[in-house]
Each structure stands twice: as C-alpha cells, then as structure tokens.
Chain A
Amino acid sequence: MRQRSTVGGAYLLTLLLAPALAWAADAHDHGLDWPSLMDFLRVLTLQDYNTRVVIIGTSLLGLAAGLIGTFLLLRKRALLSDTLSHATLPGIALTFIIVSALGGDGKNLLFLIGGAALFALLGTGSVILIQRFSRLKDDAALGIVLSVYFGLGIALLGLATRMNTGNAAGLSAFIYGKTASMLLFDALLIAWTALAAAICSLLFYKEFTLISFDASYAAGQGWPVVRLDFVMMTLAVVVTVVGLQAVGLILVVALLIIPPAAARFWTYRLRPMLLLSALFGALSCYLGATMSALMAKLPAGAVIVLTAGAIFVISLLFGSARGLLRILLERRAMARKIGRENLLRSFFELTEADLAGAAIRLDDLLKQRAWSPGQLDRLVSLADREGLLNRAADGTLRLTERGIQTATRVVRNHRLWEAYLITHADIATSQVDWGADEIEHILDGEIVRELERLLPEADQPAMPASPHALTPAAEME
C-alpha cells in the first residue's frame, strides 16, 4: 500500500510541477528554452516516436540497474561500481582521439561504449590486483583506482578538445548525461542492451543470491564463484557504459546504488526488493529523461539522481519494513509494553495474597519502583483505558479479571527468565527476550518445566515464587 503511495507521490510531484514550469516558460522567453504546456504534454504522453524511444530506453536502463544494483549491494560490491564508472572516462577520451585521428566519427556511440567497457574492466582488474598484491584495505584500493583513472580521463579529454579533427564538445554528455542529444540508434541500443542485462540478471537469480549470501558455501558446493562474480560485474559494466550517455559517468553509480538501498526499507524479502528496486530505478529514469527532453539544457543525470534521492528519503522515513517512522513507533510500543508490565508486576507483588480482592492506592505503587508520580499516573490511566484495572472515585485501584490474568502471566515469565539467567548464565543473555509474550516462544517446553522445578517453593507450578527477595517496600506492607 505504502509503496504505491510513494510512487504515486513522486508522480504527482512532477505533474504539479508541470504547470509551474510552463508558466515560468512564458515569463522568461530568453535564456533556457522552457517548454510550452503543449510540448510538456506531448513528451509526457510519449507521442513523439523519437522521444518515446529515448524515454522507454532510459527507463529500461533504470530497471536493469535496479535489478543488478540489488545483487551488487547484497554482494557488498556497490562501491566497485562507482570506481568502474569513473574508470570509463579515459576509455571514452582515448577512443575519441584514436577514431578521430583515423578520420572516423569520434562520437560514434558503439566505439565509445567499447572503449568505456574496456577501461571499466581494466579498472576492475586494477582493483583486484591491488587487493591481491598489497596489504591495502579495499576502500583504499577503490579510491586509488577511481581517482587515477578519472585523472587520466580528464587529461585525455583536455587533449581531445585541443585536437583539430572532430568536435569533442558533445563528449561532456558522457560526464553529466544528456538524453536530449541522443540519436534514435543510441536510444534503441540502450533499450535492447538494458533489457538483455535485466533478463540475464533474473536468469541468474538463484546463483547470484547464493554467492551473495554465502560465497564459501557456494564454492564448496562446486559453484564457480569467481566466474559468477565476473558475470555480475560484467552486467554492472554493461549497465554503466550504456548508461553513460543518459546519466553521465559521475552519476550513473547512483542508479546502481540508490534504488536497491531505498527498496531495502520496504521489505525483508529479496523478490519484493528486486521488484521495488527495478521500479524505483525505472521511475527515476523516466522522470529524468522526460525533463531532459523538455529542457535541452537540463542534464538528465541530475534529474534522475534527484528523483532517486527523493525516493530514497521517502523510503528512509516511511519504509514499511525498516523506515524511521516504523522504528520509532515500535520503540514507543515497546516502552509502553514495558511500562505496563512493570505496573502489573508491582501491583501483583503488592497484592499477591489476594489478587482479586485487594485494592491499593497510587502511593503504594509509587514506593515500588523508581517512577515519578506523573509517569505512574500516565501508566495507570493507560491501564485503566485498556481495561486492566479500575480506578475508583476515591482513588483506590483494583485489577480487573483481565488485569489479573495478564499480571500473572507477566510475573511468571519474568520469574522464569530470572531463573534461566541464574541457571544458564553462560548462554542465557543472548536468549532473553523481554519482548516475547511467553517464554515458551523462545525456550522449549522441557526447559520451561525444568526451570519451574528449579525455582524454590515450586509448590504452585503455574506461579513460581520470585527467586529473589521482593523490594523492601513490598515487605514492609
């Protein structure tokens, strides 16, 4: 449910933005060429064939990146994709220089992608070599390769712009991303490659899951882990290089990292995570390509990343599995539960002899624990509302039937846990789960019976006596 509203929200945002942008276009008829409302609708509804192919192709790219990025994230290789995307720059610049010098079209996408892929693989290889033959940590190896290749790329790009042959101006599209300058052929190439990469990543769903979760087990079972890793990295390289023109090499990594990271907040299962990640990636790319098609000077990469970033923030806050809001709510519920159980336990210990009959006052309870009068009053009011106890007009408190039942269960669990902590001190701490309603949910029945036996004065099996002295206040009564 929430997933859909997130997506819907982002969509709504653009639609709301559209008239504003169109109005701005009327206001400034110089500078950026703002689209008219008609243009906007035409692009948004994919009426124009070229635009349609560009937008669909870019969206497919986002989808493929979302899928492959999920596996990269789980394999803990997300940063490697950043390094390899930066490593493509010298490949692009060098290819342009060589092809132009030979008299060809330096901006032919096929050549450029080939050069980019070659250098992405070289970069990955360099990282692996550094990791294997030095004692450097992984992040250092990644940083070194990223910066050195990128530096080389910038230098070569400077050289390329000084060349007499060819026009290197369009190369900047590879750095910042620009869907507007895309040719129909480029868009088709992106669409088909992305589709193939997406299908390939789903074909290896089982294998990628296995090596991401437990690579050494996979190797023991005879899976070729190194080759599977190579396939996964190759898919990442493919998505990166075909994405260069649309998103730009600085930002293409965002497509591989942000959608899966956002999807993680909504689910604990891999399939929904893949689905959401693909959806988030596709949506980001769709919006980015649309905006860039409308405004020629607006870099698609930036819009794509900003959309993805917005989806991420929304997921971080409202994610149904591990979003911040949910964690806060759970924490509050837990605090309430502990407060209620403390109240019932104190009540129980004060009136153990005659649970149904005894009536006590707030002051009696106040002495039992380190709680402030205000805190206690809130807890009592809450318990009153929940039907656990009754507060009479004169202020005396009495447990209801349900209150007695709950209190008995709470005290029994508490005492059994204490007994468990005492008898199994070496392993118990990792097992104690105060949040569980019944100790039987954590420990098997036999142990619970054993604990009941172990407790002193176990004449009343359903309610073992507390293994330690009750608080002094209770004894004074």
Chain B
Amino acid sequence: MATPQPQRDALVQDTPLWIHDLTVAYHRKPVLWDVNLSLPEGQLVAVVGPNGAGKSTLIKAVQGLVPRASGAISVFGKPYEEQRHLVGYVPQRESVDWDFPVNALDVVTMGLYRQIGWCRPVNRRHKAQAMAALEKVGMTPYAHRQISHLSGGQQQRVFLARALVQDAQLYLMDEPFVGVDVATERAIVALLKDLKAAGKTCIVVHHDLQTVPTYFDHVVLLNMRVVEAGPTDAVFTEENLRKTYGGKLTLLSDALFEYSKNPQLPRGRKGGQP
C-alpha cells in the first residue's frame, strides 16, 4: 500500500504534472503536506477528498497562485512559469463576481489575452476563436448574453470555454460539476471525452464520488496528503475512501460502496452515457 513515489529521473518528470514533496501553508496552518504525485498523460484524473482537504490549494499551488513552503513542481518536465501556455485553468465558479459588466464572449476572449499581448486590442480573429470555443460547450446561442443573466451551468460552461480557447495540453478544473444542470453535466462529460481523445490531460477536482468510476481513469485521493493515487479500478476502493474521508464517510450513502466495488454498475445517476 505504499504511495507510488515518483522517482527523480527525467522520464517521470516529463509527465504532464510532476509534484515532489510539496508543502503549502496559509499563515501558520499547513494545508498540504509532502504531496508527491506524477500524473499520466492523456488521462482524465479525478482529485477527490473531503471539504478543506486542500484540493483547490493543490490546483492553485501548481500555478504558483499560493506560495509554497517547500517542494518542486514541473509541468511537462519544466517549471510552470515556462509552460503557462500549455495549461488551461478552470477556477471554481464562485471565485468571481458574476455581476461583472461583460458578456459570455468577452469572458472567453480573456483566455486569449496572453496570446494577444500587452495593450493590443481584441480583433475579429480572436472573437472567432472564442466563438469556436463557445460552440464546443454548446453555448453559441448565449455568446452575447450578459454573464449575470446566465444560469449556473451556463456560467460554468463559459469558464470551460475560456480554458479551451487556449488550446492547452493540461487542463486543471476545480469542481466543474458543482451546482450544474443535467445538460451541462452531459456537456462537460462529452467535452472531457473529446479532450482525452485529443490526447490532452485533464485534472478535475470532483465532489460526486458516485460518478468517479464512470467519468475518470485515474484518481488522486487527497486529504492534506495524498492518501492514494493511481488507476481508478485499483485505487478507488472502500478502504481507501475511508482513509481519505475518515468518519465523514459514514454520512455518505452505502450505495457508494456498491459502486466502488462494481465498476460496471455506475452509469451516472444523472448523466453518463445512455
């Protein structure tokens, strides 16, 4: 049951995301302890753990958005700072004020700002790129709608489109399935499949344990430290979930264990493929 320790040779470091001995603390409170991870390319990876486990912090630490106390991170073998263009980030939906005076298309165009560069205006070609990204998430009819007039699921899809427009290799998504409607959940699942088919790697913070085996190939169980990480069939077990969630798991339904024991069973209660 030993956590697979990433070795220090170059091969392992070339993976989409390689994290070694990462420790993060807010003020004096440690949030992540000695996290070691090496994630495979072209897979859909779920990051699972209880509230406050440090899932969002992990995603932010990768991008240098929170200072790390120690540890090393590399993206496709190089520091994140050199690889920004390869990484698409979908923050938690609540992280912004949706009453901002822009429309869906404007938000998606923000994904191109780095490419456009300092002080240069957005031109028609950029707008066409943004429209194409909106189309991929089924939001074409809402492109010119004010973001505060979109439903939660539609807002989430706008955020996804903003990451897609970058055409990244590695996507970091923080709870994209939270509070979204059935249509959006389906759209996101289809999108993840497309991304995987195109060889992209997606790391998705996920809260719904029941759908983990259907949606994801690889799981990282996180609670301040990495409890276990690996292919879903091997790692997503009742015992490991207990280790991750502790007493909190008893609050969850027993059905969860049925799902985790029998990977055939879960077809996605509210979605999946028919």
Binding site for B on A (CB under 8 A): 74, 203-207, 209-210, 212-214, 216-217, 219-223, 264, 267-270, 273, 424, 426-427, 430-431, 433, 442-444, 446-447
Contacts and interface: CB of A to CB of B under 8 A. Distances in A.
Q: Which 9 A-B pairs have the closest CB atoms?
A: A220-B63, A444-B183, A268-B146, A431-B181, A270-B101, A214-B96, A221-B114, A222-B84, A203-B119
Interface in B85-104: 87, 89, 91, 95-97, 100-103
Given A268-B101, A431-B181, A213 B151 contact: no
Contact of A430 (B107, B146, B162, B179): B179
Contacts of B183: 443-444, 446-447
Contact of A206 (B84, B116, B181): B116
B81 interface: yes
23 contacts: A74-B101, A203-B119, A204-B119, A205-B121, A206-B116, A207-B113, A209-B110, A213-B107, A213-B110, A214-B96, A216-B60, A217-B89, A221-B114, A222-B114, A268-B146, A268-B148, A424-B270, A430-B151, A431-B151, A431-B181, A444-B183, A446-B186, A447-B183
B49 interface: no
A268 B150 CA distance: 13
B114 A442 contact: no
Nearest to B63: A220
A446 B183 CA distance: 9
Contact of A214 (B81, B110, B179, B182): B110
Contact of A264 (B87, B101, B110, B120): B101
B181 A209 contact: no
Contacts of A213: 96-97, 100, 102, 107, 110
B101 A206 contact: no
B182 A447 contact: yes
B211 to A, nearest CB: 13
Interface residues of B, number: 42
Nearest to A202: B119
A426 B185 CA distance: 13
B27 to A, nearest CB: 10
B230 interface: no
Contacts of B128: none
A427 B182 contact: yes
Given A427-B180, A427-B270, A221 B84 contact: yes
Contacts of B103: 268-269
Interface of B: 60, 63-65, 81, 84, 87, 89, 91, 95-97, 100-103, 106-107, 110, 113-114, 116, 118-122, 138, 146, 148-149, 151-153, 162, 179-183, 186, 270
Contacts of A443: 181-183
B151 A209 contact: no
B118 A214 contact: no
B152 A430 contact: yes
Contacts of A433: 151
Contacts of A216: 60, 65, 91, 95
Given A207-B118, A443-B181, 19 more contacts: A204-B119, A206-B116, A206-B120, A206-B122, A209-B102, A213-B100, A214-B95, A217-B110, A219-B64, A221-B84, A221-B114, A222-B114, A269-B102, A269-B103, A270-B106, A430-B152, A443-B182, A446-B183, A447-B183
A288 B60 CA distance: 49
Contact of B100 (A212, A427, A431, A446): A212
Contacts of A203: 119
A431 B183 CA distance: 11
A210 B81 contact: no
Listed residue (B116, B119, B270) with the most chain A CB atoms within 10 angstroms of its CB = B119
Chain A CB within 10 Å — which of B60, B81, B102 has the most?
B102
Q: Considering residues B101, B121, B162, B180, which has the most beta carbons from chain A within 10 angstroms of its beta carbon? A: B101
A210 B65 contact: no
A223 B114 contact: yes
Given A213-B107, A217-B89, A443-B183, A269 B101 contact: yes
B182 A424 contact: yes
B153 A431 contact: yes
B151 A442 contact: yes
A264 B99 CA distance: 11
Contact of B110 (A204, A210, A222, A270): A210
A199 to B, nearest CB: 11
B91 A214 contact: yes
Contacts of B95: 214, 216
Nearest to A420: B182
Contacts of B120: 206
A191 B81 CA distance: 42
Contact of B65 (A206, A220, A268, A430): A220
Contacts of A222: 81, 84, 114
A285 to B, nearest CB: 24
B28 to A, nearest CB: 13
A443 B185 CA distance: 12
A207 B270 contact: no
A221 B116 CA distance: 12
B267 to A, nearest CB: 14
